[in-house]
């Protein structure tokens, strides 16, 4: 799996999980404060699209993920 796909999968998982934990209609609701985490992930994705800086990419590269094209 390429680095781009790993980042997309991780971000999507974090967003869906935090929405589930933060939305009152969800069966796994915990607290509306989880929506702040959703906002953080979204803001990080937004800034990474402009700056190219992604902390998760740095970590995954050090763990051995290979860079590649996300949708070949």
Structurally, how many domains does the chain consist of? Answer: 1
Is 70 a residue whose pLDDT tops 70? no
Q: Report the pLDDT averaged over residues 53-72.
A: 82
With respect to residue 25, please indicate whether it lies within any of the assigned structural domains.
yes
With respect to residue 46, please indicate whether it lies within any of the assigned structural domains.
yes
With respect to residue 69, please indicate whether it lies within any of the assigned structural domains.
no
| 69/54 Cα distance (integer angstroms) | 16
Q: Report the pLDDT averaged over residues 38-46.
A: 95
Q: What domain range is 46 assigned to?
A: 3-62
Is 72 a residue whose pLDDT tops 90? no
With respect to residue 21, please indicate whether it lies within any of the assigned structural domains.
yes
Q: Report the pLDDT averaged over residues 22-34.
A: 96
With respect to residue 68, please indicate whether it lies within any of the assigned structural domains.
no
With respect to residue 41, please indicate whether it lies within any of the assigned structural domains.
yes
| 14/55 Cα distance (integer angstroms) | 15
Is 41 a residue whose pLDDT tops 80? yes
Lookup result for tokens 């996300």:
70
Contact indicator for 31, 21 with CB cutoff of 8 Å: yes
With respect to residue 48, please indicate whether it lies within any of the assigned structural domains.
yes
């Amino acid at each position: 799996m390429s680095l781009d796909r790993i980042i997309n999968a991780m971000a999507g998982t974090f967003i869906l999980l935090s929405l589930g934990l933060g939305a009152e209609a969800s069966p796994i609701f915990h607290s509306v404060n989880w929506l702040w985490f959703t906002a953080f992930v979204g803001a990080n994705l937004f800034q990474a699209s402009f700056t190219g800086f992604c902390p998760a990419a740095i970590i995954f590269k050090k763990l051995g993920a290979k860079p590649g094209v996300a949708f070949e």
